[in-house]
Amino acid sequence: MADDFGKKVEQFGQDIWKKTTDVFNVISKNTEIAGKQRELRMVYAEIGKHYCAKHGAEAGNEFHEQCERALAMAKEIEELEQEVLQHRGRRKCEKCGESIPSDVAFCPHCGAAQPKVEPEAPEADAAEVIDSWICPVCGAKMDEDNQYCTTCGAKRP
């Protein structure tokens, strides 16, 4: 009798293990499927973006209205992003597109020279930079995150 009970418990344990493994495999495959579906949507979106940029204005384009709408929306988004950056005293680097302070001459991320902008009056109680480094070329004080000097463009040592 104890032998029967032991075999039933063992079989029950094996059944539970198999069902748990099956459920885990299904969840794993569903997660993989969802990831591939997201990736496919991104590929389709990229195709659409390139198509609109290349063929959006062509006469006879079967997706002309959708391309015009997409391009107009992209322009609106870009304008809104520029406004947000301006409110934050920032702009996009001309080369790498990273968000950078508006008053820098060189990008702190890639070192590219930036077009000159009219400087705003400095604030009297500007926050002091605590974590910083000093540019070995011009002596300017840089934020810890800057990889290039924003004054002269020298690479951080």
Task: Name the residue among 146, 53, 52, 46 with its Cα closest to residue 93.
Answer: 146
Do 113 and 66 share a domain, yes or no? no
Share of the chain above pLDDT 70, in %: 92
- Is residue 11 in a domain? no
* Pairwise CA distance, residues 66 & 127, whole Å: 47
Given a cut of 80, whether residue 138 has pLDDT beyond it is: yes
Which residues pair with residue 132 across a beta bridge? 143
pLDDT at 96: 94
Quote the domain boundaries for residue 142: 91-118+131-157
Tally of domains in the chain: 2
Do 108 and 82 share a domain, yes or no? no
Do 76 and 59 share a domain, yes or no? yes
pLDDT bin (cut points 50, 70, 90) of residue 123 is low
Given a cut of 60, whether residue 122 has pLDDT beyond it is: no
Taking the model in full, what pTM does it have?
0.50
pLDDT at 129: 43
Do 23 and 59 share a domain, yes or no? yes
- 49-66 pLDDT per residue, tens: 999 888 888 878 788 888
Do 33 and 80 share a domain, yes or no? yes
User: Using CB atoms within 10 A of its CB, is residue 90 exposed (0-12), middle (13-18) or buried (19+)?
Assistant: middle
Do 102 and 140 share a domain, yes or no? yes
Which residues pair with residue 113 across a beta bridge? 106
pLDDT at 126: 47
